[in-house]
Amino acid sequence: MMRRALQSIQHYGMILFGACLLAFAYYHINYQNHLSEGGFVGLGLLAKYAFDVSPALMMLVLDIPLLLVAWLVKGRQFIWNTVIASLVFTGFYEAFEMFSPIVMDMSSMMPVASLLSGVLTGLGTGLVLRFGAATGGDDILTLLLSKYTGLTVGTVFLLMDVMVLSLSFWYVPMKEMIYTILAVFISSRVINWSMGKGAASTEEVQPAHGHGRVSLHHR
């Protein structure tokens, strides 16, 4: 019983740490240094600029079907973990935005900003995924595509982000785009490393509440 409780604490602790690290990087590095966004956030911004559709509404429309698919494919424990990770990420991001005294202005050394963004977002995302959760629908889509295509999770993230960023060329400045793509590339490599260097692996976590096992299969 004690061992299972410790495993559960470690399991959720790593998810919380990953979500917190991701929020820290998105606010203090990406936002403060004007790096653009890929994934569903990027699609939300694209919908705003192209069709004047609310980014939040666009992301909700994209997230809901993938959450339903994930419920069927990965089970309720994965959804529960994802809800926790998403709430923690949102909570930390808002807390950093409202209260953080840290200003990381690296406008004069953008390659460093790209490097830090890639390392921290890659590590945060990789930890959340490795321990059986996601922070949004684009993470879920990435896991599903990785499973059924045989591509590593990091590679799928890279391809999706580059595709979204390519669609955003008409409103994102070239300099911002180049450094964002650099950050995305670094992040994809770090995600693969943090999930086992892209090798075929299965992470199984036995939760403490008896809902079964969370299994992630990657190639």
What is the residue-level pLDDT of the chain in tens, covering all 219 positions?
A: 778 888 888 889 999 999 999 999 999 999 999 898 888 888 887 887 788 877 768 888 888 899 999 999 888 999 999 999 999 998 999 899 999 999 999 999 999 999 999 999 999 999 999 999 999 889 999 999 998 999 999 999 999 999 999 888 877 888 899 999 999 999 999 999 998 754 433 344 434 333 333 333 332
> Does residue 208 form part of some domain?
no
Q: Residue 172's pLDDT is what? A: 81
Q: Compute CA distances 218 → 103, 153, 177, 214, whole Å.
A: 37, 7, 29, 13
Residue in this structure with the two tokens 């892209």, named with its chain if needed? 198
- Tell me if residue 214 falls in helix, strand or coil: strand
> Does residue 219 form part of some domain?
no
Interatomic CA distance for residues 120 and 128, integer angstroms: 12
Interatomic CA distance for residues 198 and 151, integer angstroms: 9
Q: Residue 4's pLDDT is what? A: 84
Q: Residue 219's pLDDT is what? A: 29
Q: Residue 8's pLDDT is what? A: 87
What residues make up the domain containing 175? 9-197
> Does residue 215 form part of some domain?
no
> Does residue 210 form part of some domain?
no
Q: Residue 199's pLDDT is what? A: 40
Q: Residue 57's pLDDT is what? A: 80
For the chain, what's the residue count? 219
> Does residue 104 form part of some domain?
yes
> Does residue 44 form part of some domain?
yes
> Does residue 175 form part of some domain?
yes
Q: Compute CA distances 171 → 94, 116, 177, whole Å.
A: 26, 24, 10
The residues that bridge with 150 in the sheet, in sequence order, are: none
Max intra-chain CA distance, the chain: 57
Interatomic CA distance for residues 101 and 24, integer angstroms: 12
Interatomic CA distance for residues 135 and 32, integer angstroms: 21
Domain count, the chain: 1
> Does residue 206 form part of some domain?
no
Q: Read off the pTM.
A: 0.83
Residues 6+ apart with CB under 8 A from 199: none
Residues 6+ apart with CB under 8 A from 172: 36, 165, 180
